Structure 1
Amino acid sequence: MRERIPVVVQGRRTRRSRAARALWTGAELAVTLGAVLLLLVVHQLWWTNRQAQHAADDQVDRLERQWDARPPSPAAPPAPGDDEGAAARTGRGGPSPGTSARRAAGRSPAPPRNRAYAVLRIPRIGLTAPVAEGVGKAAVLNKGYVGHYPHSAQPGEAGNVALAGHRNTHGEPFRRLDRLRTGDTVLLDTAGARYTYVVRRTLPRTTPADGTVLAAVPYSSVHPAQRFTAPGAYLTLTTCTPEYTSAYRLVVWGVLRSTQSR
């Protein structure tokens, strides 16, 4: 009687083993990729905010120390009178020729590009942030600064002081800009004066191409009902909306109420 030698078939087991190893490797890669993505999100949403906010706070401290160390500056131009303030608030009428001429004559040169030169304070949302000339991302906005649109008016001047800031990441100074309401105070401090603006209108959503919101007499070409019609001393704050997107723009408009020399 012959003894049979068992035959072991290993092909199927080998294939299963390879499939299991491939599945395990794929799972490890997925976990690794997920961890990398999580770290990127943490870096973008937390670390960049921490760095930018710290740098912005330091810049505000430096500006205020510089201003305190300077000798007293000449008196700032007078604030708008009652008639002019009423015109800016209602969008009817305009400043007197004498007031406009004084402002035009006292217009200061534009600050150096990308350099912080003012401080924006909005008590309603607890904001204190440096303002720099220009709106470049790397040079200004990503540092946690608020950017001043070149060729728009400077603080306190006739025309429109147009500012932009991030709503999310990189310090996100305008994170809560949507909480501003009519009558809220916005302060712009410079080396020579404090300019107090009052919120008059909010445009919750418009397109990025709606550039007329930055005009000297601001209005929305997308939403024609949202407009001012008379010359004045305006402030425009812009940021992206909804949060974590850049699909639209949120716009807040204010008018100059008073000027206080430093």
Structure 2
Amino acid sequence: MRERVERVPVVVQGRRGRRGRAARLVWGGAEVAVTCGLVLLLLVVHQLWWTNRQAREGAERQVQALEREWGSPSDSAPADADADADADADADADADAGAESGADPAAETPSRASGSGSQKSARRPHTVTAPTPDWDQAYAVLRIPRIGIRVPVAEGVSKSAVLNKGYVGHYPRTAQPGEGGNFALAGHRNTHGEPFRRIDRLGDGDELFVETKSAVYTYVVDATLGQTSARDGGVIRPVPRSDVKAGHGYSSPGYYITLTTCTPEYTSKYRLIVWGKLRSMRPR
């Protein structure tokens, strides 16, 4: 009688073990990818939402603080400035009459090319003198009704101390509001309050109101430069004129305002420029 031999099955572990390790690696990689995606999503939310909310709230508080200090809200500026426009037109007529009679209108008012259309807007910037602003401190309010902007203006263009707070920064060594030359400003177009997000929508005739402790200045947009180099320093000179884009800018002294921001959106490769001229000034 034959003995019955039991066969013991042999299990090969190698291939199945390798598959298990591969599955664990894939699973681990997926977890890392999901984690990184969530982190990136949180960063995007922080940059595009939280920094905007935080900066806008801080900027609005600063505007309100300035208004309390000055004792009058800037919301009244457009109405008063518009009311002054009729007086400016009368002053223009007086200046033209003076020129025909042999008087020297340049003694009291800049040339037409300078952007100031009245004796009042030429004289008063010289009679109302504001103290030199402290570095990084807000000292003025910029209002642009066309795009719904009301934002503090601080001295300097530091990112951490000025621009990232949602403020607009005043370029050092450029003119102050109402002064002859170029009152040049910078602001973020995206994130951190993005006050200059929509300045590309500004066009000829749009009004810019700059309020300080001593006066409200009305500038009127009359030129834009859609894109220029970030190193185009000519756009903020006393007589602003692009060093890169021929024919863009001015050729004679005047009373100018310049707004600068990054373009295209969400990049800092180029600069978008908006220019305007002083039309009138109303003492506080």
State the TM-score, normalized to the length of structure 1: 0.89
Structure 1 partner of 2:56: 53
| Aligned-residue offset at 1:109 | 4.1
> Hey, what does 2:19 align to over in structure 1?
16
- What residue identity is the alignment partner of 1:87? A
Query: 1-side partners of 2:130 and 2:63: how far apart?
Result: 21
Which of 147, 152, 157 is residue 130 of structure 1 equivalent to? 152
Pick the aligned partner of 1:196 from 215, 218, 230: 218
Q: Secondary structure at the match of 1:61?
A: helix
Distance 1:231 1:85 in 2: 8
| Structure 2 residue runs without a partner (length 5+) | 73-87, 96-109
Q: Secondary structure at the match of 2:243?
A: coil
Find 1:160's aligned residue among 173, 182, 187.
182
Structure with higher helix content: 2
Q: 1:125 to 1:163 in 2, by over 3 A?
A: same
Letter in 1 for 2:133: P
Computing the radius of gyration over CA atoms, which structure comes out larger, 1 or 2?
Answer: 2
After superposition, where does 1:79-90 map in structure 2 within 5 Å?
82=92, 84=110, 86-89=112-115
CA contact (8 A) 1:95 1:232 kept: no
Cα distance, 1:95–1:198 mapped onto 2, change above 3 Å: closer
Deviation, structure 1 residue 105: 7.5
2:219–2:279 CA contact under 8 A, matched in 1:
yes
- Alignment of structure 1 residues 32-111 onto 2, 5 Å: 32-68=35-71, 82=92, 84=110, 86-89=112-115, 107-111=129-133
Distance 1:224 1:95, change over 3 A: farther
Q: Could you tell me the TM-score, scaled by structure 2's length? A: 0.82
* Structure 1 equivalent of residue 9 of structure 2: 6
Report the CA distance between 1:110 and its aligned residue: 2.4
| 1:104, distance to aligned residue in structure 2 (A) | 5.8
How much has 1:66 moved relative to structure 2?
0.3
Distance 2:52 2:130 in 1: 33
> Matches of 2:172 and 2:126 in 1, distance apart?
17
Cα distance in 2 between the residues matched to 1:128 and 1:104? 26
Residue in 2 that maps onto 1:75? none
Q: Is the 8 A contact 2:115 2:277 kept in 1?
A: yes
Distance in structure 2 (CA, Å) of the matches to 1:95 and 1:261: 15
Name 1:222's counterpart in structure 2: 244
CA contact (8 A) 2:140 2:212 kept: yes
Provide, for residues 37-76 of structure 1, a one-character-per-residue CA deviation record: whole Å limited to 9, x for no partner: 100010011000000000000000000000008xxxxxxx
Taking only aligned residues, the RMSD between alpha carbons, in angstroms, comes to: 2.3
1:127-172 per-residue CA deviation (whole Å, 9 max, x = no partner) reads: 0000000000000000000000111100011110000000000000
Q: In the alignment, is the contact (CA less than 8 A) between 2:200 and 2:226 conserved in 1?
A: yes
Question: What SS class does the counterpart of residue 71 from structure 2 fall into?
Answer: helix
Number of residue pairs matched by the alignment: 248
Give runs of aligned pairs for residues 106-125 of structure 1, distance below 5 A.
Answer: 107-125=129-147
Aligned-residue offset at 1:11: 1.3
Counterpart CA distance in 2 for 1:185 and 1:85 is: 20
Question: Residue in 1 aligned with 2:79?
Answer: none
Is the 1:55–1:144 contact (alpha carbons within 8 Å) kept by the matching residues of 2?
yes
Percentage of matched positions with identical amino acids? 62
Shift of 1:227: 2.0
* Partner in structure 2 of residue 142 of structure 1: 164
Letter in 2 for 1:201: A
Matched to 1:153, the amino acid is: A
Q: 2:76 maps to which residue?
A: none
> Structure 1 counterpart of 2:205, which letter?
G
Residues 128 and 214 in structure 2, CA contact (< 8 A), matched pair in contact too: no
By how many angstroms is 1:88 displaced?
Answer: 2.3
Which AA in structure 2 matches 1:19?
A
